[in-house]
Structure 1
Amino acid sequence: MQTSNRPESTETPKPDLTTALEHPTAQHGSALTAFIYTLGSLLVCALLSIWIMQNSVNAYYQQTYHQPSPLVDLEDYPSWNLGGKIGDELYHQHDSIKAKISAWNSEIINDFNVDYAYTPEFKAAMLEKQKQEQLRLEALAQARAHEAQLNQFSITKADQVFFAGDSLMQGVAPHVQKYLQEQYAIKTVNLSKQSTGLSYPKFFNWPLTIKETLETHPEIKILVVFLGPNDPWDIPNPAGGAYLKFQSPQWETVYRSRIAEIIQTAQQHQVKVMWISPPNMRKDLLNQQMIYLNHVIADEVHKQQAFLIDSREILGTSDNVYNDYLLENGVSSKMRSADGIHFSTEGQKNIAKSIEQHIRIVI
């Protein structure tokens, strides 16, 4: 067997020119199609975004260029307005979902803190801290309310103060009148009358007297009332029939209405009311009656948003137990007269001083 010694052919095959020429064209067409598709998608997304966010676009355009947006012309078409409604709803849903997620996160954090992070000791300390903060806020609110009440009794030298009450006021009012006259030349009206109260208007009608006085004295800006000790009796029924028994619900309703009438009349004339509650009494029965009247008067005065001065505190009484003397700074001063009802001169001056301290003169 003979073997040829000629070298094998190493000639490279010639490329297919037809295939080589056709392939770049196909690639170019595919890229162009992808570009057109992408551009079209972007345009559709842009138009869809403008359609949905048209309200925001209009607002931005108006704020930036200070003229109506070109998109406003499309508002005549319901299909265009639908996009704005969809956008508003999506914004609303977004805010709602965001709020729910925030609340959910807070709930998870709180649950984790309560169940795992906070020890019983820490919880107890936090609870006590909350209680103390609540007490502080309540005290602050009360102080501000009290300060506001004090400021309501500001008057000028041209204004007048009106005193209404029984024999207890007859002893107190002259001291305040003297102080206002000598210190500020302020005039006063004192109609206090012994044996009067709110129980028997046919004997002396305080609500009517106060109303008529305020109508004829527009200069009056403060009304000081001191009534109650003459009132623990059964009273005539305004509707007729049997007398209303003292401390009965019907009696209390009528009595409260007379307190309210006085305060409301004053308020109608822009007059501020300072109401002094009855003191404790030596005789046990009368003292118990005064305790009841104190509760009724204080409650109704507060309901009518007037100012109450508790005479018991001023006279040194504690726990509603009658005391002749006030112990202050180691000095004992007699506050009550021998009958266990009225005040001594020092007692009168103490009540008067409290009234004076609440009146502010604007010079």
Structure 2
Amino acid sequence: MSRQRYMVRRVGALVVVALVLFGVVRVVGALAGGDDGDTVAGADGSTPADATAASDGGTVVGATGNTTITSAPGSTDATGAGSTVPATSAAVSTGPPTAADPAVVLIAGDSDAGTFGPYLETLLDDTGVARTQLDYKVSSGLSRPDFFDWPSHFRQIIPQIQPDIVVVTFGGNDPQGLTDGSKADGTPNFIIGEPTGDGDAEWRAEYGRRVGEVMDYLASEGRTLVWVGIPNDDNPDVTTRLRVQDEVVRAEAAKRPQVAFVDTWKRFSGREGGWAEFVIDPRDSTAKDVRADDGFHLNTVGAEILALDIMEVVRADLVARGAQL
């Protein structure tokens, strides 16, 4: 495929993605419920969440059967081995995605990816023109490279997997103090304290740098990057810290037209922007509980609704690449 044809298709993809996200936001305004407590959010809107981990550890096999990823349990204060990736490399697609030459979709991030990822894999498998790889690490993010270094991990696995599309999310683990690695004694080397919602200029600048670095790498070489945002929390203090993170990520995505941002915050909020426990399931237009007991993570239903929203963006990109869907 010539670079000129590729750029035309890429512009088309971004236009379609923008229209999809605009339509989602319009619908949520019509269907969303109140602003706080047990409110109902609309059938469409935006996307993400730090859903309850699909597994506390062990082996996670992609719904398509094409991928096996090992995810070790842990907390933000723990250390552990990273995910493992099959040694085989995928060939880069040069034409439209087909059953014989499918688009490769990498789904990566923290436990949120491990929760919505399997259903997203099922949706993509149903297209017949996509092959998926799921790679997630519980309790990980970009704040604590002493626990898990995602930038280094991406530079290791991207050349192996050679994805056409990358779906990534980092949820509620990141609004904490930032480290630049570990001290000589193995303890975290914190360089900036956690965000408080009051200024946070230093935290915003450093976290924004880290997010931008990951975005630039994942969206390079013709790849499409879909960044899934985070939801709010039923605890106002936690939501204050989460909002700082969400604002930084939105700002970095807005600088990069090659990055599609899925707005989970709005998707799982009430009409007034407050926390919502119930959301309209677009599959049957019924209001359903979408939150886990901790008030932040998504339960299975919520994760599936999120996967449906993400799928709309990915589908638009597949069509722009020439897939017959």
> Equivalent of 2:192, from 244, 263, 272?
244
Aligned to 2:137: 193
> Equivalent of 1:156, from 66, 89, 97?
97
- Give the CA deviation at 1:185: 5.4
User: How many residues end up aligned between the 2 structures?
Assistant: 218
The 1:149–1:262 alpha-carbon spacing in structure 2 relative to 1, beyond 3 Å, is farther
**Mapped partners of 2:131, 2:208: distance in 1:** 30
- Give the CA deviation at 1:155: 6.2
| Structure 2 contact 281–305 (Cα < 8 Å) conserved | no
Aligned to 1:168: 112
Deviation sequence 1:100-121 (CA, Å, 0-9, x none): xxxxxxxxxxxxxxxxxxxxxx
Query: Which of 1 and 2 has greater Rg?
Result: 1
User: Percent identity at matched positions?
Assistant: 21
Aligned to 1:21: none
Deviation sequence 1:220-242 (CA, Å, 0-9, x none): 1111111131011111257x986
**AA at the equivalent of 1:295:** E
Deviation sequence 1:136-181 (CA, Å, 0-9, x none): xxxxxxx996436579xx9614221111111122110100101212
**Mapped partners of 2:293, 2:215: distance in 1:** 33
Deviation sequence 1:288-327 (CA, Å, 0-9, x none): 1111211111011111331111012322434441111114
The 1:155–1:226 alpha-carbon spacing in structure 2 relative to 1, beyond 3 Å, is farther
The alignment status of 1:282 with 2:226, answered yes or no, reads: no
Aligned to 1:115: none
Query: Which one has a larger percent helix, Structure 1 or Structure 2?
Result: 1
**Mapped partners of 1:207, 1:195: distance in 2:** 16
> Equivalent of 1:295, from 247, 260, 268?
247
Aligned to 1:233: 176
| Structure 2 contact 232–269 (Cα < 8 Å) conserved | no
| Structure 1 contact 198–228 (Cα < 8 Å) conserved | no
Aligned to 1:147: 16
Which structure ranks higher in relative contact order (CA pairs < 8 Å, sequence separation ≥ 6)?
2
- Report runs of 4+ in structure 1 exceeding 6 Å deviation: none
> Equivalent of 2:148, from 196, 204, 208?
204
| Structure 1 contact 211–266 (Cα < 8 Å) conserved | no
Secondary structure of the residue that 1:265 maps to in structure 2? helix
| Structure 2 contact 165–225 (Cα < 8 Å) conserved | yes
Aligned to 2:207: 255
| Structure 1 contact 316–325 (Cα < 8 Å) conserved | no
Alignment of 1:6-17 (within 5 A): none
Deviation sequence 1:224-277 (CA, Å, 0-9, x none): 111131011111257x98631233322222211111111111233321111111
The alignment status of 1:317 with 2:237, answered yes or no, reads: no
Alignment of 1:76-225 (within 5 A): 146-147=15-16, 149=18, 156-157=97-98, 158-184=102-128, 186-218=130-162, 220-225=163-168
TM-score, length of structure 2 as denominator length: 0.61
Question: Structure 1: which 5+ runs fail to align?
Answer: 1-142
- Give the CA deviation at 1:208: 1.6
Aligned to 1:352: 307
Question: Structure 2: which 5+ runs fail to align?
Answer: 1-11, 21-94, 184-188
**Mapped partners of 2:96, 2:244: distance in 1:** 33
Aligned to 2:288: 333
**Mapped partners of 1:194, 1:263: distance in 2:** 20
**Mapped partners of 2:192, 2:307: distance in 1:** 34
The 1:144–1:237 alpha-carbon spacing in structure 2 relative to 1, beyond 3 Å, is closer
